Structure 1
Amino acid sequence: MTDENLQDVAARWDGNADQWTHDVRNGYDIYREFFTFPAFVDFLPPLAGLDVIDFGCGEGTNTRRFAQMGARMTGIDLSERMIGHALDTEDKHPLGIAYKIASYSADTGFPGASFDAVISTMALMDGPDFEAAMREAFRLLRPGGFLAFSVLHPCFITPGLGWQRNEAGRATALCVSRYFDRTTFTEEWRFGSRPAGEIVEPFAVPRFPRTLADYLNGIVAAGFRIGKIGEPQPSRQACEADPRFARWRDLAAFLLLVMAERP
């Protein structure tokens, strides 16, 4: 990892920040609302009363939800504009959350053994140095503390994925390729649930492809003991809200959840 890598990631998310904040807070991120966040909450142990740091907190929507579950929250993100949005909301509707501009792949500036839990939702796949993030998570945790995170499933969300469809246009299989291609790339996309006819610039999201072994070995190398793995399927409610979720219920895994303990 170089400073140039981090600066590029920060610049990308600074550029995304205003539209991202608007879209997330207006409910356009239906994957978050109906699938990725509820699945993560179901995966977690109770957070009430714990000191918790959120790696890659973005504009703070999930961080605030964790605070409402009773955690004493700290959020860090590399993007100054994302943290600005988070701080603005905290000022207007305080929940006692501390935010800081910091990379989760470097020394965050907090003393060692400061937290009971390190959590991260759909952010660690967007950073250039996962191994360094695991080392920093280990440093920040008290003995017996836990790490829990969600990422796009590396076995299925590969640089060469594509849906196979029948004559009616219904997805019948997911084709994956380039699983071992770790070339960094920038993915451009918009939330698909935004109002029809509304035109916005696509988000530019840096991607750092990894294999399943890259993730699991990075966790173990930092000193963690892996305790639980999750590959959740969308709920019936999610599939009713948007039929596209049925692809991830029936054909392939979208999400990988990992929990590990600091001995």
Structure 2
Amino acid sequence: MPPRATVCPQKGSLSVVVDDRDVAACWDDNAEVWTRHVRAGYDTFRRFYNNPAFFEFVGKLSGQRVLDAGCGEGLNTRLFAQRGATVVGVDVSPNMIEAARAEETRRPLGIGYEVASMNDLSLFEDATFDTCLSTMALMDCADYPGAIREIHRVLRPGGLFAFNVCHPCFTYDILDWDYDHNGECLGVRLGAYFQEGAYEEQWWFSAAPEDEKADTEPFTVLYFHRTLAEFLNPLCETGFRLEAIAEPRPTDAACEKDPRLWKHQVVPQTLCVKGRKG
């Protein structure tokens, strides 16, 4: 039986207990439109902010055997491979893996893709990978401590684990953004940070054309809110040595390309974490 997560009584929270099977079902439903929109370049937060910051944070990948945990349709998996890594991507959604494999068939990069939950990587032997990367996926994992244990197991001694997530301090239960009389962002007002659990979000990529939005349903995403401590402590408890943490600020150039990013020069949208297996 997959691990099950508790729910919290917040707006958007769920009235039932959910697990990775529910996460897989959501992403299976999202897969067709998500894949089309990502490959059309509508995920501007990823293009202009999250990916540039994360790739700088991670450093060189050439010659590394890399696991991409929570790879989705494989955009970042392909970028890792293009940086010289030998990559295997795993995702809990069969439809996402199908889309990733189809792109690998069209434009081969030597990437392998497997359907697997991050908290059950039994497809792989101990110490299989030099590096594990996970981009904007671990907040969608019902059993985060279990995922950390499995990632630790499949890394070689001294192996690197780096991930980013929506910043747990500044992106959960946003009540409102505060601006001054000139429209400059002052900060954000937040709700119940300590009420952990699962909730549901629905949204589109803001950069998607209006006719695309009119013809599609918004993405439904299951998200598991955890405090900063709940993200970091399982790493230490499992045997990772924390090496670095980053709270990226988008560059002025990125904000010019997507003005929605200006407010994240005041409040970070993502948290990057890097640890090494002892």
Fold conserved between structures, TM > 0.5: yes
Counterpart of 1:252 (choices 250, 255, 267) is: 267
Contact map agreement 2:92 2:116 (CA 8 A) in 1: yes
Between the aligned partners of 1:35 and 1:45, the Cα distance in structure 2 is: 16
Q: For residue 172 of structure 1, give the secondary structure of its aligned residue in structure 2.
A: strand
Between the aligned partners of 1:248 and 1:2, the Cα distance in structure 2 is: 33
Counterpart of 2:156 (choices 142, 160, 169) is: 142
Matches within 5 A, 1:167-246: 171-198=185-212, 199=214, 200-246=216-262
TM-score (norm 1): 0.96
Between the aligned partners of 1:8 and 1:241, the Cα distance in structure 2 is: 35
Gaps of 5+ in 2: 6-17
Q: How many residues align?
A: 262
Between the aligned partners of 2:211 and 2:98, the Cα distance in structure 1 is: 29
Between the aligned partners of 2:54 and 2:47, the Cα distance in structure 1 is: 11
Q: Which has the higher contact order (CA 8 A, sep 6+)?
A: 2
What's the offset of the Cα at 1:169? 5.4
Q: Are positions 1:156 and 2:170 aligned together?
A: yes
Counterpart of 2:45 (choices 26, 31, 35) is: 31
Q: C-alpha offsets along residues 190-236 of structure 1, whole Å, 9 cap, x if unaligned?
A: 00011134312110000100000001101111110000101110012
What's the offset of the Cα at 1:126? 0.8
Q: C-alpha offsets along residues 66-91 of structure 1, whole Å, 9 cap, x if unaligned?
A: 00000000000000000000000001
Gaps of 5+ in 1: none
Q: Are positions 1:73 and 2:87 aligned together?
A: yes
Q: For residue 267 of structure 2, give the secondary structure of its aligned residue in structure 1.
A: coil
Between the aligned partners of 2:24 and 2:122, the Cα distance in structure 1 is: 15
Contact map agreement 2:174 2:188 (CA 8 A) in 1: no
Contact map agreement 1:135 1:222 (CA 8 A) in 2: yes
Contact map agreement 2:244 2:274 (CA 8 A) in 1: yes
What's the offset of the Cα at 1:129? 1.1
* Residues 66-75 or 102-111, more deviating: 102-111
Between the aligned partners of 1:17 and 1:49, the Cα distance in structure 2 is: 31
Tell me which amino acid in the other structure corresponds to 1:241. K
Between the aligned partners of 2:29 and 2:236, the Cα distance in structure 1 is: 34
Tell me which amino acid in the other structure corresponds to 1:53. L
Give the root-mean-square deviation of aligned CA atoms: 1.4
Same amino acid, percent of matched pairs: 44
